[in-house]
Amino acid sequence: MNWKKRFIVILVVSFLIIKTAIYIVPITAYTYENEGINEVKTSEIEINEINFPDKIFRDYVERYDENDNGNLSEAEIANIIVIDIDNNNISNLKGIEYFSFLKELNCRYNNLTSIDISKNTRLTHLICDGNDLSKLDISKNTKLTTLVCGNNNLTNIDVSKNLELEVLLIEGNKLEFLDVTNNLKLVALYCTENKLANINVSKNPKLLHLGFSYNRVTNIDVTNNPLIEVFNCDNNNLNSVDITNNPLIEEFRCGNNNLDYINVSKNIKLKTIECNNNNISTLDITNNIELTTLNCSSNKLSNIDVTKNTELVSFLCSNNFINYLNLSNNLRLSNLNVDGCPLLWINVGNNTSLESKIDIQTEKTIDITKNKFDLTKAIKGIDISKVIIISNGILKENTVTVNDVTKPVVYLYSDKNVNVTVTLNLNLINSISNDNEISKAVKTSDQKSIKLWSAMCIGMGLLILIVKKKHKIGI
């Protein structure tokens, strides 16, 4: 091949190469650009009013736009694991469904009426209390371990699919039914302030906290919940409650029910007992030596022994029938309320912790047979050294000498900052006895007089007969 032909071949090949390059390069670049465009359309979420209609929520989401391009890339979305928008006045949470990697959502104290978390299947913690939710579907959130949805308008909630659930706080709603029998891992359940008439926790052996105060529950069985540490069942319609199989309980609140008896002898770890406003007539807390708070007000207690409860700090026993109170061993006691109790004395021992001065005025009727009586016999356990007679009597040793038995004796029992003023109404039972004795004496005297008179008459008759006989004989 001569040089001309060779030159022509080289020229043609070069042309073909250049021509091919002209077509190939633009096609490659276009494909790359189109791939980039397709990626934006399919995997990037534009932060706009359509995707995030609530401006406050939209402004919050913008903080995750790391390159400030107005979109959330797949990588940026993958980094959003926690969203905390608590108390932000948000009314619409549309757009939350884009965050498929979300594990924790806190949207409490907003203005939400609905929330769709069906796409947030990785969610483990949902906190949405303090909104206006009437429905909440968590059936797709099977990894949920914590649900806090109190203070909404929920009338029903289905947690049967949430087998991993450990914490359920659903207070302040309108629930009439709640089934937690599938939630075997539940450790905390609070459904206070609803309309529940029944609650079954027999399938929740891991429960540590149980609270269903302010409902309509008439019966509760916690025998299968031996690990319970906090148990609040106050303000219901319970007639009985058995916690003898719950030795780990530290806080027990059962006030405002219809209970006439509670047995806390097996609950030696108890620190708080609130059993106020029931019909309890006896309460034995001698085994509860760790007790720091006791509220047994408004019951029917006539006596209570707190001498073993040396850790007691707060003791409320108002409106009972208690006459005597020995607090000499309760040196840490600072809060005491005994209003409405007919107390005759309170022994506070060496306690210097009581926060306020206590003044009590009560009265009692006692029987006396004369104008003197032994105060230690009339008032059981009273410490005479702390008694001052205020009116109508004089105290010497244990004996009170009454000035006027028709009037009451008033004494003051003073022990540090506790003053008990007692009015003793006197019932003079010997007045009736004296009348009887006088009557008997009169009857006895009359009978003796009659016998004497009869004897005298007989004697006189005999004497007359003797005289007559002597006169006839002529002696």
pLDDT tens-place string over residues 394-444: 999 999 999 999 999 999 999 988 999 999 999 998 654 444 443 454 444
Task: Give yes or no for residue 20 having a pLDDT over 60.
Answer: no
pLDDT given at position 41: 36
Nearest residue to 195 (alpha-carbon basis) of 219, 171, 179, 211: 171
Tell me the average pLDDT of the chain.
Answer: 86
Cβ–Cβ under 8 Å, residues 105 and 126: yes
Q: How high is the pLDDT of residue 451?
A: 53
Q: pTM for the whole thing?
A: 0.80
In degrees and rounded to multiples of 5, residue 279 shows phi and psi of: -120, 30
* pLDDT tens track for 34-83: 333 333 333 799 999 999 999 999 999 999 999 999 999 999 999 999 99
> What is the structure's pLDDT at 460?
53
pLDDT digits (tens, 9 = 90+) for 402-414: 999 999 999 999 9
Average pLDDT over residues 5-27: 32
Please state, for a pLDDT cut of 90, what percent of the chain lies above it: 79
* Residue 183 pLDDT greater than 80, yes or no: yes
pLDDT digits (tens, 9 = 90+) for 232-267: 999 999 999 999 999 999 999 999 999 999 999 999
Distances (CA, A) of 58 to 52, 96, 101, 210, 440: 5, 10, 18, 38, 104
Query: What pLDDT shows up at residue 399?
Result: 95
**Percent residues over pLDDT 70 in the chain:** 81
**Model confidence pLDDT, tens digit, residues 376-386:** 999 999 999 99
Q: Does the pLDDT of residue 116 top 50, yes or no?
A: yes
- pLDDT given for residue 417 in this prediction: 86
pLDDT of residue 382: 95
**pLDDT of res. 455:** 52
Q: Summarize pLDDT for 307-361 with one digit per residue, the tens.
A: 999 999 999 999 999 999 999 999 999 999 999 999 999 999 999 999 888 999 9
Higher pLDDT, 103 or 451: 103
* Residue 7 reports pLDDT greater than 50: no
Q: What is the pLDDT of residue 226?
A: 98
